[in-house]
Amino acid sequence: MSSTAFRNYIDGQFSEPASTFDSIDPSTGLPWATMPAASIADVDRAVEAAHRALRSGPWAAMTATARGKLLVKLGDLVAANAGRLAELEMRDTGKIIRETRAQIAYVGDYYRYYGGLADKHEGAFIPIDKPDMEVTVRPEPIGVVAAVVPWNSQLFLSAVKLGPALAAGCTVVLKASEDGPAPLLAFAELVSEAGFPAGAVNIITGFGHDCGHRLTSHPLVARVAFTGGPSTARRIVANTAENLAYTTLELGGKSPVVVFADADLDSAANAVVAGIFAATGQSCVAGSRLLVERSIKDDFLARLKRKAEAIVIGDPQDPATEMGPLATSRQRERIEAIVAESVAAGGRLVTGGARPVGKADGYYYAPTIIEAQDQALACVREELFGPVLSAIAFDSEAEALALANDTPFGLASGVFTSNLAKAHRMARGVHAGVVWVNTYRAVSPLVPFGGYGLSGLGREGGLDAIRDYTRSKSVWIRTSDDPIPDPFVMR
């Protein structure tokens, strides 16, 4: 049992758990910390605390401007503590330290952005068709929010939920993934330091069969914001049949990156490598399907092979490391099985496809490229959530578009071309919530983010996200001094 222990944060207090579990360091495969396993009773306490804070007390009485100031302070604290949070995320998930530091430092901007918007989300005056009435529409917080996030990029994925929810005046119970929850449980310390009233933000972790199920089906939860996979999302949707909670889902995908022959191939190759091998491919927007024009296919794959084989794989805490381990052993085992199946079915292994030499400890897997003749292979159809790129050649713009859209997913996409008209046509035609042209993986708090199809429902980020955490209240005021006529007296 590790000497490093974390606790749930409920109703403004860090609480001792009734049960715990070991968290595994993916770079060694060994336990490094003890995590709290929230029980159904813990979930009930957290939701009830959030409900009390929503209805009475300091949070309920707080002005939008005051809420905004708290969010700005929280953003500043995240930025100031990015180094510590990054080290925890590196230790608990295997993400390399230089990536976690850069990403978490930017997370503070999301809280500052929504802090600035908190008192700028306005209602409306309705010029009603009745002369003796005035009608206003007030945006009010939708209620208690259950935010459920995965282990990867968890501080970012929490910020795009907590930021708009708190700006709107909601209260939140945030469930961190049982795979690598340390950064979010430590983030709770910053929530407390920022001065959020008890119950406004509660942070727990635990397992899906009790903690997750109870949270998303709880009768006091009005909204569920989930990031994860489609199979878990289906269970969550079934759970919300109990409370009819409004639900948004961000579910990842099989994002296509289309490279035309007229593109800057050096730039495109760098973007493709970053899009699939950064974060060891464990990103919801990983560009896992390369669609490359046939006339440049061999040259482009050779470029990618050289770059993939030059990636430095190693200890996540070493600043020289460019790719770390996968987060869990089961993830590596699934990838190994799908890669083997795909190669046996006719895929050509360009590079990788095995555990790196000299990495007996930890959950490492080599950067892998598989050339496919069509999209029937499992590596092309299924989200692997790992460093595996499937490459398919195309002969025309129309074929590239058809291949890009031949998937039940639709989160992100990339297009590389020097032809502006072609770029516009592709951006218009690709069925995805995000289209990056001559770039990849760019994000901003100002821009909505979400997908089509099995990639989810709803959007996160941008101004409209606050509206998704409110409901409208119509207020009718009669302005006439005359008494209301007796409705049963005919005149």
Instruction: Give the residue numbers annotated as catalytic, written as ranges.
Output: 250
Angle between helices 182-194 and 82-93 (to 10 degrees): 160
Helix axes 420-429, 397-404, angle to 10 degrees: 30
Side-by-side strand order, sheet with 201-205? 13-15, 8-10, 201-205, 171-176, 144-148, 221-227, 246-250, 456-457
User: Can you count the helices (H) and strands (E) in the chain?
Assistant: 16, 20
Alpha-carbon gap, residue 427 to 433, rounded angstroms: 10
Q: Which alpha helices (H) appear in 363-463, and where do they start and end? A: 378-381, 397-404, 420-429
Cα torsion 187, 192, 197, 203: sign: positive
C-alpha triplet 306, 308, 313: angle, nearest 5°: 130
Please state, in angstroms and rounded to a whole number, the distance separating the CA atoms of residues 379 and 148.
27
CA 177/CA 206 separation, integer angstroms: 7
DSSP element (H, E) containing 304:
helix 297-310
How far apart are alpha carbons 388 and 153 in whole angstroms? 19
* Total residue count of the chain as it appears in this document: 491
DSSP string, 175-227: EE-SSS-HHHHHHHHHHHHHTPPTTSEEEEE--IIIIIHHHHH-TTEEEEEEE
Q: Judging by beta carbons within 10 Å of its beta carbon (0-12, 13-18, 19+), is residue 279 exposed, middle or buried?
A: buried
**CA–CA distance, 475 with 459 (Å, rounded to integer):** 28
- Is residue 385 within 8 A of residue 93, CB to CB? The reply is no
Contact 243, 223 (CB under 8 A): no
Q: How far apart are CA 29 and CA 291, in angstroms?
A: 35
How many whole angstroms separate alpha carbon 59 and alpha carbon 66? Answer: 10
Check if the beta carbon of residue 170 is closer than 8 Å to that of residue 144. yes
- Neighbour tally for 281: CB within 10 Å: 23
Nearest to 438 by CA among 295, 270, 298, 254: 270
